[in-house]
Amino acid sequence: MRNAHTRAVIVGGTQGLGFAIARQLVEEGCRAIVLSGRDRAKGAEAAAALAVLGCDAHFVAADLGNLDDCHGVIEQSGALIGPLNALVNAAAACDRGSLLDTTPEVWARLMDVNARGPFFTMQAFVWQARHHGIEASIVNIVSMVIHCGQSYLAPYSASKAALANITRNTAQAHRRDRIRCNAIACGWMDTPGEDATQKRHHDAPDNWLELAEAEQPFGQLVKPDQVAPLATFLLSPQSGVMTGAIIDCDQNVAGAYPE
């Protein structure tokens, strides 16, 4: 059981990929998890689902756009389940905007939630791990749009690219603390959040997923349950000294062109 000794906090862990990672951790022996998000009802339901599987699971409400919450979620999580040795940053804001129509407010929100929030959450996590003298692992969920992104994802792409850089910088800075930091750059993914985004920003019909998947090389979008084992591997001792990696997880290859 490669995560039998993992005590994890998963920011954005109440649904989608974050919850899939939490469930996978439990399957791999993890018995102490804190899920974090903004929706208290959804968080309580998700924690209860993990508890049924035999995990000491808790929910801590937090909004990464609120700087106090970034440190607070780590402090509260440590108080609930003991010294943390695993952190997943899976929460994100997905507002749309191009170079020409992005407002300062949208830019600030995306940077706050997708880059500043994880940065200061990681800061508190690393402080705690160093205080307790324990080895630890961080996994940040970024996106394939760090390589470019569509025109209507200009600020979102920038915020995720910033988090990719933060990942590598943290990995370099804290190697000798034996704190590892890696990221997964996911492609277009089938999640409840993506369903809401498609309908809110793109007027997508109810069958948008079926239509989208029919156009994909593998006939599907990326599924959370397919990514979760990669994340839990990176959190576990099995990934050894691996740090500073940004792993593309998609059916489209960055830098490839039609032949």
CATH of the domain at 80: 3.40.50.720
Report if residue 253 sits inside a domain: no
Total domains, the chain: 2
Kindly state the percentage of the chain with pLDDT values over 90. 92
What is the rounded CA–CA span in Å between residue 48 and residue 106? 34
User: Which range marks the domain in which residue 203 is found?
Assistant: 192-221
Q: Are residues 72 and 39 in the same domain?
A: yes
Kindly state the percentage of the chain with pLDDT values over 70. 100
Q: Are residues 41 and 112 in the same domain?
A: yes
User: pLDDT class for 258, splitting at 50, 70, 90?
Assistant: confident
Q: Are residues 172 and 196 in the same domain?
A: no
Distance, CA of 170 to chain centre: 16
Report if residue 33 sits inside a domain: yes
Q: Are residues 126 and 215 in the same domain?
A: no
Amino acid found at 71: H
Contacts of 101 (CB under 8 A, 6+ apart): none
Report if residue 1 sits inside a domain: no
Distance, CA of 109 to chain centre: 17
User: pLDDT class for 187, splitting at 50, 70, 90?
Assistant: very high
Better pLDDT: 231 or 196? 231
- pTM exceeding the 0.75 threshold for the entire prediction: yes
- Residue 196 is predicted with a pLDDT of 87
Q: What is the mean pLDDT of the chain?
A: 96
Q: Are residues 174 and 54 in the same domain?
A: yes
User: pLDDT class for 259, splitting at 50, 70, 90?
Assistant: confident
